[in-house]
A = this chain, B = another copy of it.
Amino acid sequence: QSSVTVGGTLDLGLRQVRNGSVGSQKSEVSGANATSKLIIRGVEDLGGGLSAGFYLDGTILADTGVAGAAAPAGQFWDRRSTVSVASAQLGEVRLGRDWVPTHLVWTGFDPFMTLGIASANTFRSFAASRALGQAFGTAGEATTANPTLRVSNALEYFLPAGLAGIYGQAIVTAGEGGTPAAGGTRGEGFRLGWAGSGWNVAAAQFTTHNAAGDQSFKDQVYGASYDFGVVKLDVAQRRWLFGVDRTVNTQFGAVIPVGRGVIKLTYLRANQTGATAAQSAKDASLLGAGYVYSLSKRTALYAHVAQVENKGAATFAIPGGPAVSGTATAANYFGGQKSTAYEVGVRHDF
């Protein structure tokens, strides 16, 4: 029992989002710099380079005290719930619920780690991203599991450390007769990267076989970063492919250390393609900047600003604003408008 570690993060901030003519809204938000979460984990040394370990990790919406995901109901350990047997020489076999490898690469390059108003996941919207909506339905993100973030029922293999900077993994997941929206993803994928001499390059793919109509949905990511010391630059691209519908997100980022703080900059584009010219015109871009000041290794204050510009009739909006609609006759129609936001907060790791 001595090996159990209880840890996590509480991160709370204040946000204001203006969605063009629809209006603006203030809110308190959880997890804009690092996800608020509770982690219980441990590792057992089995001798001979072998070890066993477990990892439980669940989201906390610290503004309201809600824990875990809304769907499936009761999914307290929504971020990760795994058991592993690992060999220092041969690598690790892991079972359970875990991150999809594509998300790991995507969030690893984003200066904002896919969190807050300037997140590289701003365009991961079922309502506004056509490829996602067509593959997984247009029910609200909050009430639907979806395999571009994490997957249940996974069997994974991870390469060992010590391969001259090469890292990677393979994954298969059991659908168990269910739908991805209900948490049952039948898929497989991989991640492969190399880190060294200031470089980090990586690529990943995850294919979901039981998306809508039992068509395949492909999620692909690749990226590279180089750390110049005074600044770390990155470029990454994530592609969601579903039949004729595709959303291609391209992200450019910079992280600049400044004393005890760090400045973060991001530029993100979503290039959408659909069956019609109108669908293909629904592109968008995001410009974001942030400053994080560390009070200690565990505690930081932060401030972020971001703006989303929609092209055509695209309706991407920064989360936390008033509800928007893609229906041209709706009072809150948002097609082609701008979403602007700022947020300040405090993050505490424990």
Q: How far is the CB of A325 from chain B (nearest CB, A)?
A: 15
Q: How far is the CB of A68 from chain B (nearest CB, A)?
A: 6
Which chain B residues lie closer than 8 Å to A53 at the CB level? 348
Is residue A97 within 8 Å, beta carbon to beta carbon, of the partner chain? Answer: yes
Interface size on A, residues (CB 8 A): 72
Q: How many copies of this chain are found per oligomer?
A: 3
- Which of A22-30, A107-115, A189-197, A273-281 sits within the interface? A22-30
Q: Does B348 lie within 8 Å of A155, measured CB to CB? A: no
Is residue A221 within 8 Å, beta carbon to beta carbon, of the partner chain? Answer: no
CA A285 to CA B306, docked complex, whole Å: 56
Known: A10-B83, A295-B46. A25 touches B96 (CB 8 A): no
Q: Does A60 lie within 8 Å of B44, measured CB to CB? A: no
Q: Does A296 lie within 8 Å of B63, measured CB to CB? A: no
Q: Does B85 lie within 8 Å of A74, measured CB to CB? A: no
Q: Does A97 lie within 8 Å of B7, measured CB to CB? A: no
Known: A12-B95, A85-B295, A155-B14. A65 touches B75 (CB 8 A): yes
CA A298 to CA B51, docked complex, whole Å: 11
- State the A residues within 8 Å of B (CB): 1, 3-7, 10-14, 25-28, 38, 40, 42, 44, 46, 50, 52-54, 56, 58, 60, 62-70, 72-83, 85, 95-97, 152-155, 174, 176-177, 183, 295-296, 298-299, 301, 322-323, 345-348, 350
